[in-house]
Structures are given as C-alpha cells and as structure tokens.
Structure 1
Amino acid sequence: MVARQVSDPPPSGDWRADLTEAAHRIRQMTLRHPWLARHALNAEDFGPGALAMTESTLGLLDGRGLDTGDMLDAWWTLLAFVQGHAFAEARRHEARQRRADERETGAPAPSFLDKAAESGEYPLSTRALREAPRPTDPRDAFDRRLGHVLDGLAQAFFERDRR
C-alpha cells in the first residue's frame, strides 16, 4: 500500500521532467519508508500499490515510441537507481545519528573505513571517499546522479534513432 503514495500527474509532454518528478516522489516515499528499498519490486510480488505506481510511471513513457519492453527497462532502471540511492541516503542518516549518539556517550570507535584507510591497501577508495567534494544537500547529489541516469535513458531509448 505504501507504493500507492507514488502516483504521477498526467504526462506533461517532457519525458525527462516527468521522470524527474516521478523519481523525486519515489525518493520521498523511500526516505519515509526505508525498509521498502530492501524489497526488490518484481512482478511476482506486486500488490495494488506497486501496480498503481508502475501503471502511473509507465503512463509517463507511453506514446513516446517505446515498446513495452523498453518502457519496462526504463522504469526498472529509474526505480533501481532511486530506491538504491534513497536507501543509502537513509543509511547515511542513521550512521550520522549513531556517531552523534556515540560522541555524547564517549569516544566513538574508529570506523572500518578509517581502519582500511590506515592500512594503505585501498588508496583510490580512500582518496575518493576522503577528498571528493560532498554536497551539503542530499538532494543535490540525488539530482546530479539522476541526471546521469536520465542521460543514459535518453541515449538508450529516446535518441537512438538519431545515431
């Protein structure tokens, strides 16, 4: 029933804007219910809410020259990205809260990543995780990465006749 919370408005005529709006709705639902992202959505497990969400999103893609297989591929790609990103976002929030709680109760133990970085065995990962600019707003990171996904969908499904 939770998935029923994500129903999209009628298509605007701009597939990218429509899918962006759908992605934000799914992200918000997943952040409210992080347990949902642990359950892969597949046809065998559809209930009324998941079916309504799927119908709504497929409706954003219908009539754009895609066959049903392409529409499903685009939908599953978007859903996998959004749920994975939102689940990771929720987990990071939980970890920050745990660290804050540890600071209040005493010195926090070094994290696995701290220990791995000290070992020198993972120089690229250490550099990437420690030096990469961090957006202050999780939505900024989501929007940037969603743009990459939508660029890929554009090439795979919407611009393929132009090649």
Structure 2
Amino acid sequence: MTDLTALTERICDRIPLTRQLGFTLAEHRPGQLRMTAPLAPHINDKGTFFAGSQSALLTLAGWSLTTLEAEAVNSDLGNNVVAVESSLRYLAPLAADAVITARASDDALTLFRERYARKGKAVLMLTVTLCDPHGKLASEFDAVYLARRVDPAH
C-alpha cells in the first residue's frame, strides 16, 4: 500500500491546484482516510472556511481514499480514479481548521475490492465529512468514485 507522504507528493505533482490547499493526509486504515487542512489559506470574507475550498478538499479526500483502496488491490500503481457522482451539503460555517474524514462502509469496500480484483474496474461509494477539530460537522459529501486498472506504461 502507498504511504501517505508518497501519495501527497503524487497528488501535488499531478494536480497543481492541490499545492495551494495546505492539506495533510493524516491517517489511513481500510475504508477510512483522515485528512486535515488549515483555515488560513481557505478563509473567506466572513472569516470562515470558503465553500469552494471545502468542495475541493472533500473531493480530494474521496479520490485519495479510492486511490488507496485501488492500490491495495492492484499495487502496481496502474490505477485510474475519477469521481462520477456527488452530492454536497453545507451544514454550518467553519471558523477553524478542518478535519476531513472519508469513509466507505464495510459492505461497499468488500464489494469494491472483489469487483476490482475480478474485473479491473469498480465503483466505491463513500461519505466524506468536514468538521472542526472538536467534531462539529460543517459539510457532508456523498460520492461515487470509479477505479480502473490501467497499464502503467501508458
């Protein structure tokens, strides 16, 4: 499995926008990824976390978890992950650093791994939350990501 530092470097190298997000991939275990981001680079005119930044971070957390899970099945790094569907709800303003947690249910993760191993293509349904450091929920993101095995030489 890819370590989080290497994945962070890959993300920042391949997706230039992410260099400005100040995110940290903090912890991964099967079906769950925790990420953090400071308020300062994301502050809006109201002194709270900009909605566009929340959207970018939530999307990135889901993409990162799906990438890690695809690599757990297909460790040669020949994996292509894309978001295919999402729904985002802003629930409360956030005037603090963010803790973003992406989660797939045990059933969703099992189905994803089985299909990916067998077919080289699978979807992962997950929920991503963005909270303050004390766990107060600011936004919630439900998404479906598609992972496809690709030839790493191409």
TM norm structure 1: 0.31
- Is the radius of gyration larger for structure 1 or structure 2? 1
Larger relative strand fraction: 2
